[in-house]
Structure 1
């Protein structure tokens, strides 16, 4: 298969209607490693907003069960990506996400900020480290994908373009990035988890931590009060990723999709899992879900015309082999 065959395939699809298929091709075949890294860094930088980082610390999930929390987040998003936003499993995954978020008083601005990082960071990462840049066609499609997901999550005032998302993200960080001890603990715990992922686990922990910090911008480092790596270390770390991209350019096209559950980083469910069981089920200090019953933007299996109640959750058991 020609190295640019997948780019040609995405170019043949409509980013206004085929955004899910385009996003799936990019995340599971064309740039699986890059997009996984970019989304991990996207989530990581949200900790630097104290209202987000402090809440994550208060739940204890990112410090006491960080591997499970990492896996749950990735697997929920994986189910949506693989099966589609409006599929039975996709709706089940979105509802699981909504129920978790609905247990806390999270402002729309924070939800929108997290969404913006998922739109913007993969574009910036691939532009800097990918074996090729994303096309305008592909960027429009991935933006539409997350716009639709945001709507199903009940997020308001969602930007229309990647540039609008980027403007919002950059201004939000400039206004809100600040130090918080709990957020720093969440960041430290996440970096410690990163050191256990193959092949990182074969290298000294200190080297992985320095490498990771070398990829962070000064604003993010300062928000966590991390020491800024020197220019030489930064150059070598970023150059290594750039060279990786050049090598990937000459590698064969991935013929079959690779989903998150197939990565060695995901280790919490060796016997399989059900989407409905992923994530957290907060009881302490919880309030009623923000989207109870049919109010959830991710539609249930009921019919408003007939008035039938929501059906039982869709089983989405995945066996890990």
Structure 2
């Protein structure tokens, strides 16, 4: 889909504001959850586990990936910093036994998972402008990386992603090894008091489709109730802070 230079810049600005100002914690968590979804794709899990980098040094690898993504978000795709980050992504992924469809799915996971998390658990839902800007950002990234056949709207991308997961998600030894190696990236952020429940909370955050794919035990009723109550309380506190706090004006929804 062709975009004018002005449309590209506007979309990146809307996505940047959403990710860095309106929903900073939600987007970061959503990107992490999106990354976990890629472990359920056998071909992607095979490549990620095969390099050994993510299983041996999960924190270092996750930090490096996050820094690249946030360089693109903060600086834009067409600045010097952004272009360098895109070229590094291309080098890192060149020669890997991953199909174009798999690369489209990775972009879908990063594009759609944070939006779904925000719409379900954050202080307000995203606007249509924010959804469209997010889709445009990842479509532009796809163009620059030579990835083709990205669906042409956020809604079409969401439908495509769901159908892909139903068709492709499978339990594999590689996927299990990646989940085991990286689960501490989320569980270590939990308060020490909740450490005995960390595995169950982690599984709740992954959601039912990933839990079933990875064949993880369903968390008990106590843990599910605790997570649900904590997320509702978090949403209430965030809404109250946005409504009554000094940042309420800056946090108004994008038009």
TM-score, normalization by structure 2: 0.88
1:240 aligns with 2:230: yes
Looking at structure 2, the residues matched to 28 and 77 of structure 1 have their Cα atoms a distance apart, in angstroms, of 12
1:207 aligns with 2:197: yes
CA contact (8 A) 1:39 1:121 kept: yes
After TM superposition, give the deviation of residue 79 of structure 1 in Å.
Answer: 0.9
CA contact (8 A) 2:39 2:175 kept: yes
More helix by share: 2
After TM superposition, give the deviation of residue 232 of structure 1 in Å.
Answer: 4.7
Q: Which of these two proteins has the greater Rg computed from alpha carbons?
A: 1
2:127 alignment partner, one of 114, 120, 135: 135
2:70 alignment partner, one of 69, 78, 93: 78
Q: Which digits, 9 at most, give the CA deviation of each residue in 1:195-222, with x for residues without a partner?
A: 333xx26245442221121123322112
Q: Which digits, 9 at most, give the CA deviation of each residue in 1:44-68, with x for residues without a partner?
A: 1110111111211111111101011
1:57 alignment partner, one of 49, 58, 62: 49
1:29 aligns with 2:21: yes
1:225 aligned counterpart, secondary structure: coil
**Partner of 1:284 in structure 2?**
none
Looking at structure 2, the residues matched to 218 and 157 of structure 1 have their Cα atoms a distance apart, in angstroms, of 28
1:157 alignment partner, one of 149, 160, 177: 149
Structure 2, gaps ≥5 residues long: 1-5, 251-255
Decide whether aligned partners of structure 1 residues 191 and 206 sit closer, same or farther in structure 2, where only a CA change above 3 A counts: farther
2:101 alignment partner, one of 105, 109, 112: 109
2:183 aligned counterpart, secondary structure: helix
CA contact (8 A) 1:29 1:254 kept: no
Looking at structure 2, the residues matched to 100 and 18 of structure 1 have their Cα atoms a distance apart, in angstroms, of 28
**Partner of 1:174 in structure 2?**
166
Farther off after superposition, 215-224 or 155-164: 215-224
Looking at structure 1, the residues matched to 176 and 126 of structure 2 have their Cα atoms a distance apart, in angstroms, of 33
**Partner of 1:90 in structure 2?**
82
Matched pairs, number: 241
Q: Which digits, 9 at most, give the CA deviation of each residue in 1:156-190, with x for residues without a partner?
A: 10111111111111111101111111210101111
2:215 alignment partner, one of 200, 221, 225: 225
Hey, which bits of structure 1, 4+ residues long, moved more than 6 A? none
Looking at structure 1, the residues matched to 141 and 193 of structure 2 have their Cα atoms a distance apart, in angstroms, of 37
After TM superposition, give the deviation of residue 76 of structure 1 in Å.
Answer: 0.4
Looking at structure 2, the residues matched to 46 and 25 of structure 1 have their Cα atoms a distance apart, in angstroms, of 26
After TM superposition, give the deviation of residue 137 of structure 1 in Å.
Answer: 1.3
